[in-house]
A and B are shown apart, each in its own frame.
Chain A
Amino acid sequence: MSEYKTTFQTISAAAEALVKDDGYYGNYGGSFIPEILVPAFAEIKEYFEAIKQDEAFWQEYCSLLADYSGRPTPLTYADRLTEYFGRAKIYIKREDLNHTGAHKLNNALGQVLLAKKMGKTRVIAETGAGQHGVATATAAAKLGLSATIYMGREDMERQYSNVFWMKRLGAEVIAVDYGSRTLKDAINEALRDWVSSFETTHYVLGTASGAHPFPAIVSYFQAVIGIEAKEQILRVEGRLPSWVYACVGGGSNALGVFQAFYPHENVGLVGVEAGGQGKGSGRHAARIAYGEGKAGVAQGFKTLFLQNNDGQMNDTYSLAAGLDYVGVSPILADLSERGRVRFTAATDTEVVEALEIIMKTEGLIPALESTHAFAGAFNDITESSGSDIFIINMSGRGDKDIFNVAEGLHDDEWKAFIRRKARQFENSAR
């Protein structure tokens, strides 16, 4: 047994500060589900309530986090980056060092374990950038359940390396070929599967969105990020940070790192959305930062969605496949309305610039999703002073983004390599 100290009480304490039993967060949340899913949701609520009190469950979960996933992840002092800007001290929470390379495994392990307790033999999941799909496939392999992953065709093209790994991990990957062929469409397709299969199957929703109790479940399983970060910063600095930055697609890594800091009102929380090609371009996923999200009900819950006047969801866009979700966690929508979380957006251009700085100063390769958090922090840093502390949640590593980054950086050597490799495959096939 490892030395890992996080127990169910600390996770509960962090999560309970934010999570509501009735599933409503101010004006948002709720459960707008078709009748056929009522028994499935009743079952999840029952089991989730039970495991919240079940120390043995949390011990098993924490043991998996420690001995399988490799937690706690470090909080790295970014000395060269700090020096580069000459303002706030920058610390980076290293979720990239979680097994499978992103924070997603925290939730996937928790929910697959929950599925097992519920007697399910199969899990399904949606994925955007592929990290949640890889995490679910991994957790299913480790815990002995079968897995089916739904992924938009557009996202499969952008993140094929993750498709490769999901399949190798034994999961079935199903391409979603309608709508914008991205994350929201993958969620719809997973829901369609679930209404036919809920007796044997649990839907491992990957983000803190969806019908109640999914925002609460995901928040619980991600709370570990902030719990660790808070302990770590207190240990090295003896005080809390001034600001905590996280990218926001659906909202799971942001809620993960924010929860433990939420009760400390002197700690500023910043969610960075996908600014894509900028405000007014119609090609972004900045629901709150650009003020274009409007309250509505879709995919089982009420939140701010990018939609037209008839309530039809707009197509979204981001260089980062994991951030171009049309809605946002109801918990974050409420925290924004209450002024507790400040929302900002980073454009694709700002993200690519930020990525180059991080790679060359710190030797880190964050995922394009996570780089949004860095870009948001960099945009703010001129307003900070040497007495400020920034924590940036690096939600995942960027290996998966090699094709997109090479394209964004116009790397001709890489493109030439890809052409050579393609010719090699063609020749060997003849």
Chain B
Amino acid sequence: MMMNGKHLSGEKPGSSKIRLAEQITGGPSGQPIQIMTHQILGYPDFDTNYEMIRLFQESGARLVELQLPFSEPIADGPVFLHANQASLASGTTTKQCLEFAERVVTDFPGLSFLFMTYYNVVIQYGIEEFVKACAAIGIQGLIVPDAYPEESQEFMEACRKHTVEPILIVTPYTSSERLAYLSAETGGFLYCAARKGVTGTKTSFGKETEAFITRVRSIAKTPIAVGFGIQSGQDVRFLEGKSDIAIIGTQLLTVLEQEGLSGVRRFLKTIIPA
């Protein structure tokens, strides 16, 4: 397929042909926990997104979640909501996001890239076409919080067909029976939202989080990632030895907005010790 003037061969570095779970558990990272960072594409602009990703690679992050903005991001809190709206207001399109992703997958081979978005963005592109384009670019996983798995079989099948991992989410409120189902359906890893609510609010990491992770561990057949409300190195340390991946989203954007790229560099050092 042609994209951004180039032929997409599906032979990109970090290709999704190497399964995400193997990369997470089998990689020689030497880190006690892997870090997944996050960017809302087109916010504040693609150049800043690119520089942020450069910082992620330099700091030792392993996975990057690239969010394609949506006008109705119901699972996102105020910081991400604003970023979604601002990105769209500046004219960000799905095509631009795919082109950008293709560029960063090529330029930053040490990182594994995933897309996060909402189901309507995928549907309007064409479900199979979207997943196929992701595979061709080298996007390894897709996080689509409103693609309720029981209602989204076409999406799940397209992911399996094109070897792009559908990353499913569980919460402390997910029953053990459902957790087993979601664990069987998810690809790559299981995304554990550490609490109820939307993104961006502080989570109090303690016994309840630990009990939740232990319960997930006892059922899940995949690596697990914990996100929602991680704001400091202390939160990450808490998760070491418990979770395979810590996901940091809103706090990165807040630091970028308040302290710029140099602030992000400093923040990443506190999150990921050299």
Listed in ascending order, the chain A residues whose CB lies under 8 Å from chain B are 30-36, 38-39, 178-179, 184, 188, 191-192, 195-196, 198, 294-300, 305, 307, 309-313
Contacts and interface: CB of A to CB of B under 8 A. Distances in A.
B254 interface: no
Interface string B173-203: 1110010001000000000010011100100
Contacts of A198: 196
B145 interface: yes
A35 B198 contact: no
Nearest to B171: A36
Interface in B144-171: 145-148, 151-152, 168-171
B94 interface: yes
Contacts of A310: 93-94, 121, 124-125
Contact of B148 (A32, A196, A298, A313): A32
Given A31-B148, A32-B119, A313-B72, 9 more contacts: A35-B170, A35-B174, A36-B173, A36-B193, A39-B175, A188-B72, A192-B77, A196-B201, A307-B120
Contact of A34 (B75, B85, B120, B175): B75
20 contacts: A32-B147, A32-B151, A35-B148, A36-B171, A39-B173, A39-B175, A179-B71, A195-B198, A196-B196, A196-B201, A198-B196, A297-B123, A297-B146, A299-B72, A300-B74, A307-B124, A310-B93, A311-B70, A311-B120, A312-B88
A16 B168 CA distance: 34
Given A31-B151, A38-B178, A296 B196 contact: no
B170 A311 contact: no
A263 B197 CA distance: 42
A277 B152 CA distance: 37
Contact of A196 (B73, B124, B197): B197
Among B119, B124, B147, residue most surrounded by chain A Cβ atoms (within 10 Å): B124
Interface of B: 70-75, 77, 81-82, 85, 88, 93-94, 118-121, 123-125, 145-148, 151-152, 168-171, 173-175, 178, 182, 193, 196-198, 201
B145 A311 contact: no
A179 B73 CA distance: 11
B124 A195 contact: no
B197 A300 contact: no
Contacts of B94: 310-311
Contacts of A294: 124
Nearest to A29: B151
Contacts of B201: 196
Given A192-B198, A195-B197, A296 B124 contact: yes
B121 A311 contact: yes
A71 B130 CA distance: 52
Contact of B75 (A39, A195, A296): A195
A311 B146 CA distance: 14
A34 B74 contact: yes
A192 B198 CA distance: 6
B227 to A, nearest CB: 12
Given A31-B148, A296-B123, A191 B173 contact: no
B197 A298 contact: no
Contacts of A36: 75, 169, 171, 173, 193, 196-197
Contacts of A298: 71-72, 118, 120
Nearest to A24: B151
Contacts of A178: 81-82, 85
Contacts of A31: 148, 151
Contact of B151 (A30, A34, A179, A311): A30
Nearest to A305: B120
A38 B146 contact: no
Contacts of A184: 72
A191 B196 CA distance: 12
A31 B119 CA distance: 12
B123 A34 contact: no
